[in-house]
Amino acid sequence: MMELRQKTALLLLMGTMQGFFAAPVQAAIPPSLEEEIRWLQEEHYVTTATKTRERLRKSGSTMTVLTADDLRNMGARDLMDALKRVPGFGVNRFNMGFASVEVRGVKTDFSEKILFLVNGHPINNNLVNGGALVSYDNFPVDDIKVVEILRGPGSALYGANAFVAVVNIVTDQAEDVAGTELSVSAGSNETNRFNLQHGSQMGEVAVAFNANVYHSDGWRGEVDSDVIGQSGTTDYWQQRYDFGFNAEVGDFGLQARYVKRQVGAYLGANNVLNDDSRQEYVDYFIEGSHSSRLFEDGQLSTTIYFDHFEFDNLWEIFPEGYSYVDPLLGPVTFPDGLITRSPINHDKSGFEVQYTWYGLEQHKLVSGFAFEHQTQYGVEHWSNNGSGPLVDISENANWNGSHSRNIRALYLQDIWDPTQSLRVIMGGRYDDYSDFGATFNPRVSVSWELKPSYQLIATYGSAFRAPTFGELYNINNNAIVGNPEVEPEEIETTELGMRADIGKRSRLGATLFYNNIVDIIAPRPQPNGASYSDNIGELTVQGIELEINTRLEGGSTISANYTYQDPRNERTDARAPDVPLHRANLMFNYRYSRQWNAFAGLHYESTLAREVGDNRSEVPEQTGVDLALNWRSLDNVIQVTGSLYNLTDEDLVDPAPGALLSDYPQPGRTFMLELTLREPLR
């Protein structure tokens, strides 16, 4: 400990002197000492695990932290490029083209079992499907300061959707930008991106904003057969506008974000190739906050917010001229194709009050109350019925309706340090929903430092996912209708983890996990051929995550992680489909000098099993290699990044359901070149 303090003091002294004698002092720092001090000081502070600022090693959770430098060095284009490198995480695409994130063997199309946050604000605003990624899967990395990724249940603090993970995107604040920054990118498939960022501070007023515009014609992947036997190519063009803002004035804060996104069909809502569909999404929120001391030993934080989400999608369900034979009606033909349009609106408004008390020795108590009102409105259904123009059929054949619910929640957490080497975190949250009732979810973790370089962590927690408005209220659907009696999904998770510093340059982590998921909401078939939502599924997942990070001389790093996961249907003992048993990442970041940095990343997934009854062979194992090269000027005013994805042009696919359908093709070899200009520091 004394050695660390001495080295830290030396670094601070040199940093102070560097302001006066930058070049000479920098040359005077022994490179090996500089790198060792950087490694020793690299401990991150996080807020996601406990809703308070804690050292990562004291968070009592299995977490990964990705910084802006990490994202830039690896050539990440968006949030998904980063998440696929995280232990236990997998990123796929489904028929609508959006990302689907799998965590520890748990996968759904809309990723509604993961809670996504922006600066602590939940963004799972799609109330009919439950997820966040139709708006945010390509969140711009230009505005990311840190991504805090919590693996495991988080409902004890956050409530619904914090089922298998919580991903908190921390954006740049005024002090992180300190001026103006402009980035321009161009790459394969007529892809281009423009980003403008600014941050400034005058006295107690600090303001930052980010504007991002993205366009791509999209990669067109070959599809041998869709569900009606057509062959062709995918159609996934994109146009996206993203504006973020945050401000602080003394104890008051304000943050807002607006996203508008238009995309092609990829394969479309019905897994039928077409070129006349388009998806349009608008998502925005505004949140005001206030934080201040309350009494000598406490901190009171209050937030109030409003969120809005809407989509207006035009789907070509069947192409022009398509026909089939109905058992009752005989031949059915769609001369103009079957076209539908389905707009919908969602609002969320609420507030949260949190009080953190430090007055009891060895304890930090966190308590809070939250209220939220959710509403769905403006639901319409338009159709051409196979020929002619679109007609509003909402009055007699709508697909959902206007609904709302209220949520009240109380939570309490105790962070207890009985000794310097032992920490116990325990708490729970009670959520009361006006539509399905109440649920309570506890969590407890015990972390023990055997000695400063070795730590054991044991955790237990439960979480829930609230039924979506689609699962509750969908109507007039030939495939699946809603069920107002459906109950929330529930999970219990147990983890045992170990963290160790191996020597002065390597860190090792290992986590055993076991998930038991009950009341999974899934379609229950009916004799008439349709299905309705019901709690009929149960899944167990057991596995292990291993990771090692090693810093080499000069600041280069080698990192690797491996995940084994075995998800099983408890009723049939069948392996869950579309999820690999093995996943691994190998990453080498080569810091050639202060100006040059190169990255190589390898991502591997083992074979994927099919659903029961699907006689196609398993999806074969897949390996992808990405490269990035980064140069920056000595004054950090100019930066150039070149990235190459799927270097070997592998035929990568994501699993598609149904024996008649080809798997979803993913992009071949693509590239991106980015130029960044920053305002010089004064």
Q: What is the pLDDT of residues 525-562, one digit of tens each?
A: 888 777 999 999 899 999 999 999 999 988 899 999 99
Residue 682 binned pLDDT confidence (cut-offs 50, 70, 90): low
State the residue for tokens 């190519």.
Answer: 233
- CA–CA dist 499, 501 (Å, integer): 7
pLDDT of residue 34: 53
Least confident of 250-264, 345-359, 431-445, 475-489: 475-489
| Predicted pLDDT of residue 681 | 63
pLDDT band at 487 (very low <50, low <70, confident <90, very high): very high
Both ends of the chain: CA-CA distance in Å? 37
- Average pLDDT score over residue span 277-297: 94
Average pLDDT, the chain: 91
- How is residue 554 annotated by DSSP? G
The residue type at 420? Q
Task: Tell me the average pLDDT across 41-57.
Answer: 87
Structure tokens at 275: 């070129």
* Token digits of residue 210: 């980010």
pLDDT at 619 over 80: yes
pLDDT recorded at residue 127: 93
pLDDT at 660 over 90: no
pLDDT for 42: 58
What percent of the chain stands above pLDDT 70? Answer: 93
pLDDT, tens only, 355-398:
999 988 999 999 999 999 999 999 999 999 989 999 999 999 99
Predicted local confidence at residue 421, as pLDDT:
94
Beta bridge partners of 426: 414, 444
Task: Write the DSSP symbol of residue 37.
Answer: H
Q: What's the pTM? A: 0.92
What is the model's pLDDT at position 288? Answer: 98
**Average pLDDT over every residue of 152-158:** 97
**Predicted confidence band of residue 474 (pLDDT cuts 50, 70, 90):** very high
Question: Please, are residues 153 and 441 in contact by the beta-carbon 8 Å criterion?
Answer: yes
Over residues 475-503, the mean pLDDT reads 93
pLDDT, tens digit, 9 for 90 and up, residues 299-313: 999 999 999 999 999
β-pair partners for 391: 383
Q: What is the pLDDT, as a whole number, of residue 330?
A: 86
Retrieve residue 350's tokens: 């609420």
The answer to whether residue 17 scores a pLDDT higher than 50 is: no
DSSP string covering 281-310? EEEEEEEEEEEEE-STTEEEEEEEEEEEEE
Domains delineated in the chain = 1-16+28-41 (no CATH), 42-319+344-377+402-678 (2.40.170.20)
The pLDDT value recorded for residue 26 is 35
User: What are the tokens at 529?
Assistant: 């051929």
For residue 550, give every residue at least 6 positions away whose Cβ sits within 8 Å of its Cβ, in sequence order, or none.
Answer: 505, 506, 507, 557, 558, 559
What is the pLDDT confidence band of residue 503, given thresholds at 50, 70 and 90?
confident
Q: What is the mean pLDDT of residues 65-82?
A: 95
296-348 pLDDT tens trace: 899 999 999 999 999 999 999 999 989 988 887 888 899 999 999 999 999 99
Average pLDDT over residues 580-587: 98
Nearest to 178 by CA among 631, 641, 680: 680
Beta carbons of 6 and 35 less than 8 angstroms apart? no
Q: What are phi and psi of 396, to 5 degrees?
A: -110, -15
Residue with the larger pLDDT of the pair 5 and 615: 615
Which pLDDT band, with edges at 50, 70 and 90, does 30 fall under? very low
